[in-house]
Structure 1
Amino acid sequence: MSGKIPKYFINDLLFRTNIVDLINTRIKLKKNGKNYQTNCPFHDDKTPSFTVSYEKQFYYCFGCNIHGNAIDFLINYENLTFVESIEELSLIHGLSIPFKKNTISEKNNYFKKQKLYFLTDQMSKLYQKNIISTNSALEYLNNRGISRDMMQLFYIGFSNFDWEGFSKKLNIKKELEKELLIYKIIYINKYNKIYDPFQGRIIFPIHDKHGRIVGFGGRNINNTFPKYINSTETSIFFKSKQIYGLYQVKQQNLHPKYLLVVEGYIDVIMLTQNKIDYVVSSLGTSITKEHVEILFQNTDTVIYCYDGDNAGKNAAWRTLKITLPYISDKKTVKFIILPDNEDPDTIIKKEGAKKFQLRIKNALAMSKFFFKNILKGVDLSSNEDKFYLSARALPLINCISSDTIRIYLRQILARTIGIVDDYQFEKFLYQNKEKNKNIKYKNKQTTMRILISLLIQNPNLSNLVTSIKKFKNSKIKGITIFLEILKTCSENPHFNTGQLLEFYRNSKIINILKTLSTLDHMIIEEKTQNMFLDLLNNIYRKDLEKRQEYLISKEKINGLTINEKKEIWSINKRLKNIS
């Protein structure tokens, strides 16, 4: 993919991007000397092992060894493709991607997305303008208790019952109408009439994290079926990846302590109106693993709040099962199950915000909710039921990545069925003790490996190399890669580690470079330059010594030519100077 976007543009993006700021908007970083640290977001990390270097524009985890530059972080953390990560950085810096001429499909897809962003924004403005002068829509919102402030905060609008009236009322130009048809935001029915799929509905625009409107939710006001609908999926809108209200939450708090997940648009709006400003929704659809990943990327504690009917309770249990693999020592979930026939909208009107806050405070911990549900219908006096309980519970418990939580739940399960399972806990402690003793396998740190790693981690070291002629005929393993990296660094004197690795992203040597970029050579920073020069001299000395050995051997057998005698004299002189 990187071949479809000019390398100069990618390099410029990385030059403009401060990886510390980029990551810090997603994960809280703490200064630690020259670098920044936090718990790794890519594995269950009990101590901060995730390090971000401003100087190198590079991140590395000493626990799971994941590493890379700003582009790699977006790919790994937000599950983006390479091109999507470039789009993300381009958006941050207000740039357009200059696709190469021979990449028509990617270019067309990119500009199609930009057009969709524009058209959904235009439609949202039309819906918002329309609701102000539509009494029936305003009356509906007023009856639901939604204030004008909430209408503005959530960009609430209304679509007329017919497109023709809507178009005339708002003076929609034919050119815009044509584009809306082309991009399938509005349609033509079998009677050759234009219609809006949201006609006759209150409109809830759905924002992405940048505040761009990517789609809509619509609620009828005249009891037509279905009650709610969402936009069809497009290249900018995927229901399984979109969280309603998250943009508004993040506008108030970049790192919310909690996220309260409810089922409906109006639930989000009414709770927000009552000063509970960390409420989101999954667009009325079932929670997906993508939703869970996004939620935990934005908070450490997710509180699910479901309606009190059977459907709500079943949905809560399904949600827990989807969430279990993402729970860790730092990431947890809680549950609020409302009374029968109640939802967040109705109950906050009955009880008020203070009592609802109390429900949040007393939300069921994950472990209590888990066993409350898993024990339903189980007769603990029956051995068969105990076996059934174990067979049902253990696979779910084993989904959890955290050793601590997994063992804790197993202990509860063991006690529940009447087994005191101390052995398992002792085994766990022993395994962790041995794990801490274990020294991870490291590649042999040869002179050339250390030399290349120093250069990758400090590209400005290339300035110390005044000539590469003396290495031209070198046979030392790895010299070709070293000279290649040296040439790139010399031609790009402002490269940092992140930019250098990006330059070689699709090359045959990228995996070698990535490994060496994280090599810990235990060299004090102040001595890096001297070590680099010493290693260069060592390689040069080895080359000279090998040639010297060859000539001495040849002299004993066949004798040397005049030129070879001069060469051995020259080698001896150079070796003396190096020493």
Structure 2
Amino acid sequence: MIPQSFIQDLLNRVDIVDVVGRYVQLKKGGANFMGLCPFHNEKSPSFTVSPTKQFYHCFGCGAHGTAIGFLIEYSGLGFVEAVKDLAQGVGMVVPDQQDRLPPAQRAEVQAKSLALSEVMTKACDYYRQELRNAQNAIAYLKNRGLTGEIAAKFGLGYAPDGWDSLRTVFHDYDAPALVEAGLVIDRSEEEGSNRKRYDRFRDRIMFPIRNIKGQVIGFGGRVLDGGEPKYLNSPETPLFQKGSELYGLFEARQAIREAGYVLVTEGYMDVVALAQLGFPQAVATLGTACTPVHVQKLLRQTDQVIFSFDGDTAGRRAARRALDACLPHAGDNKTLKFLFLPAEHDPDSYVREFGADAFDQQVRDAMPLSQFLLNEVTQDNDLGTSEGRARAQFDAKPLLQAMPPSALRLQIVRGLAQLTQTTPAEIEALFELVQPVARKRAAPPRAKRTPPIGLERQMIRLLVAHPSLAVGLDQAALDAVAQLAPDNAAMLTQLIEVCHGLGETANFAALAEQLRGVGSDFDPLIAEIAADTESDLDAARLELAGAVRQTKMQVLKAELDRLAISGLATEEARIRYRELMQQQEQLRRQAEVETTLR
């Protein structure tokens, strides 16, 4: 868990304009920056970024958040990944209570990762430059129907046919980083090796593999002369783990949003060719079967994932592995489908022969996960016999157990029950899908708080907009807040505690990020303040002081009224009454002074 103090410090150091500006073209408009919203289609900019609030807000779709929230929503990063991305940009080392590395060693690891990233970027630039002079590589790409624009979009390059071509760009060819990055192979410790150190990629079309942040983390190389292997990938490195990365995901993010789905293919060339042919929402696994991490990463981008496979035996095996990876993430609000092309076609060849409309129809007609699962467990079993039906149930058991409880799983259970002449209840009992649970008394539903009005809303709004003001509240103010209506008192007290925890340097962005984990009571107010123009801190301080003073006056008046009704029968009551009258007079004088200051 990352400490909240680190999150606040990070948000104080990063500039959300720079963060959003990496992905959205922004133009200055008054105190804020404006651009086209990346979260919905629009022709006129309604997306604003406030450098003073360190917050973004779209007046069209209502999207809003901090720099961390933007990376999570736009790039599909997890919270920790987003924090690490921002921290790296400002030279901060992310503490992690589960990370046992000392801070100095953790900083060394991050510095090494940054150095490897720089090596990969330099190599990518070199390969791209070499492609301009490689006529055989250019001819191959043109023969595949690719334009220079598409080649540039994906950063395609060429690795020359030489054993140590990288020496021309890396003058220290013996640097360990070249081996650690997977660019160079070192055989110096092997006896009988004629060549001790040489380039991994030679005479190949180079496909840069980028992570979700756009950094080059590896390469795929496609041979030109018919040699083997046809495709050669970077080995696993500190930057690149093929079981968690997808080729083309960085380039496809916007297209995935616009299309409403992502198409998962089997190779780099499928992705690049489909982008050329009008399907830029395609990605590919990297020479490995689809993993649960892949599926999770894709479902961060869209609620609909369609896997495309060749219709041959190998394609069916790959589809089955993809099914296994999908099951832990299958749910009622996610759509997972499987597309099988004719055995003689891949996506590229299918579109070229039958056209984009025909391929689009194939995508629309893709087989839902439920149907594919039932086909898998029944197609090789004779459902006309008891043994065949039992075998189908046996094959289905681990698949259904891998799924989380959901309406989708229930529908599959019902389908299997019908096919195997049993009942859903019998299958659920046989597969132990329904776990007995101890009966608990249901907790009463949490009463919805009544939205605060009047002074309470005014104070809450001012503190959310300027959380540093909470530090100036005295004990009398806190005591007065505690005397308000219970819901309002609880909400204000909670807010003040959070603001105090953030300290004097707290800003709106840091508070908004902190309140994300508190509950939804503050969400409407955060969205409202994000959409408002920036308010002056000094003016807000005076306004808050006035609201607090009025609250104190209300509390004093209520106690004075109670004492008056009691008849002031005791000396103690009369002394208390005089004290309250003095406090009331003091508050009136403060109000007069503040009025003259305004």
* Fold shared, TM-score > 0.5 on shorter chain: yes
The one-letter code of the counterpart of 2:126 is L
* Aligned residues of 1:394 and 1:410 also touching (Cα < 8 A): no
What does residue 416 of structure 1 align with? 419
* Aligned residues of 2:155 and 2:208 also touching (Cα < 8 A): yes
Q: What are the ranges of 5 or more consecutive residues in structure 2 without an aligned counterpart?
A: 25-35, 58-63, 95-101, 429-441, 483-488, 530-542, 564-568, 588-598
What does residue 160 of structure 2 align with? 160
Gap change, CA 1:407 and 1:197, over 3 Å in 2: same
Q: Say whether residues 1:440 and 2:451 are aligned partners.
A: no
Q: Say whether residues 1:406 and 2:418 are aligned partners.
A: no
For the residue of structure 1 that corresponds to 2:206, the secondary structure is strand
Q: Say whether residues 1:256 and 2:253 are aligned partners.
A: no
Q: Deviations over 1:376-402 (max 9, x none)?
A: 222223234334434443553465557
From 367, 380, 385, the counterpart of 1:382: 385
What does residue 14 of structure 2 align with? 13
Equivalents in 2 of 1:489, 1:5: separation in Å?
A: 10
Q: Say whether residues 1:85 and 2:82 are aligned partners.
A: yes
For the residue of structure 2 that corresponds to 1:241, the secondary structure is coil
Map 1:6-155 onto structure 2 (within 5 A). 8-13=9-14, 71=68, 78=76, 80=78, 82=80, 84-89=81-86, 96-97=90-91, 103-138=103-138, 140-141=140-141, 144=144, 146-155=146-155
Gap change, CA 1:25 and 1:123, over 3 Å in 2: farther
Gap change, CA 1:543 and 1:520, over 3 Å in 2: farther
Gap change, CA 1:536 and 1:486, over 3 Å in 2: farther
Map 1:170-185 onto structure 2 (within 5 A). 171-172=168-169, 174-175=171-172, 178=175, 180-181=177-178, 183-184=180-181, 185=183
Count of aligned residue pairs for this structure pair:
507
Map 1:92-491 onto structure 2 (within 5 A). 96-97=90-91, 103-138=103-138, 140-141=140-141, 144=144, 146-164=146-164, 166-167=165-166, 171-172=168-169, 174-175=171-172, 178=175, 180-181=177-178, 183-184=180-181, 185-190=183-188, 191=193, 193-250=196-253, 254-393=257-396, 396-397=399-400, 399-401=402-404, 403-418=406-421, 440-441=445-446, 454=460, 458=464, 460=466, 468=474, 470=476, 491=504
Q: What are the ranges of 5 or more consecutive residues in structure 1 without an aligned counterpart?
A: 37-53, 60-66, 426-436, 549-554
Q: Deviations over 1:115-164 (max 9, x none)?
A: 33322122112222223333554455455555544433322222234333
Map 1:428-577 onto structure 2 (within 5 A). 440-441=445-446, 454=460, 458=464, 460=466, 468=474, 470=476, 491-492=504-505, 495-496=507-508, 498-500=509-511, 514-515=517-518, 518=521, 569-570=578-579
* Aligned residues of 1:288 and 1:322 also touching (Cα < 8 A): yes
Gap change, CA 1:464 and 1:367, over 3 Å in 2: closer
The one-letter code of the counterpart of 1:491 is E
Equivalents in 2 of 1:103, 1:4: separation in Å?
A: 16
* Aligned residues of 1:459 and 1:489 also touching (Cα < 8 A): no
Gap change, CA 1:464 and 1:296, over 3 Å in 2: closer
Equivalents in 2 of 1:143, 1:97: separation in Å?
A: 45
Equivalents in 1 of 2:142, 2:41: separation in Å?
A: 44
In the TM superposition, what is the alpha-carbon distance from 1:368 to its structure 2 partner?
2.5
In the TM superposition, what is the alpha-carbon distance from 1:195 to its structure 2 partner?
1.0
In the TM superposition, what is the alpha-carbon distance from 1:565 to its structure 2 partner?
8.9
The one-letter code of the counterpart of 1:279 is A
Equivalents in 2 of 1:516, 1:270: separation in Å?
A: 46
* Aligned residues of 2:309 and 2:341 also touching (Cα < 8 A): yes
Q: Deviations over 1:447-483 (max 9, x none)?
A: 9xx99x9489725487599761537999x89999887
In the TM superposition, what is the alpha-carbon distance from 1:443 to its structure 2 partner?
10
Equivalents in 2 of 1:294, 1:162: separation in Å?
A: 37
The one-letter code of the counterpart of 2:262 is L
Equivalents in 2 of 1:276, 1:473: separation in Å?
A: 62
Equivalents in 2 of 1:285, 1:439: separation in Å?
A: 49
Gap change, CA 1:78 and 1:259, over 3 Å in 2: closer
Equivalents in 2 of 1:140, 1:278: separation in Å?
A: 24
For the residue of structure 1 that corresponds to 2:125, the secondary structure is helix
For the residue of structure 1 that corresponds to 2:407, the secondary structure is helix
What does residue 64 of structure 1 align with? none
In the TM superposition, what is the alpha-carbon distance from 1:484 to its structure 2 partner?
5.8
Gap change, CA 1:534 and 1:328, over 3 Å in 2: farther
What does residue 33 of structure 2 align with? none
The one-letter code of the counterpart of 1:243 is L
Gap change, CA 1:459 and 1:226, over 3 Å in 2: same
Equivalents in 1 of 2:37, 2:174: separation in Å?
A: 38
Equivalents in 1 of 2:384, 2:549: separation in Å?
A: 76
Identity %: 24
Equivalents in 2 of 1:56, 1:134: separation in Å?
A: 47
* Aligned residues of 1:56 and 1:457 also touching (Cα < 8 A): no
Gap change, CA 1:480 and 1:295, over 3 Å in 2: closer
Across the aligned residues of Structure 1 and Structure 2, the Cα RMSD in angstroms comes to: 5.5
* Aligned residues of 1:260 and 1:303 also touching (Cα < 8 A): yes
TM-score, L = length of structure 1 = 0.67
In the TM superposition, what is the alpha-carbon distance from 1:415 to its structure 2 partner?
2.6
The one-letter code of the counterpart of 1:121 is T
The one-letter code of the counterpart of 1:495 is N
Equivalents in 2 of 1:266, 1:11: separation in Å?
A: 43
What does residue 533 of structure 2 align with? none
Equivalents in 2 of 1:278, 1:480: separation in Å?
A: 48
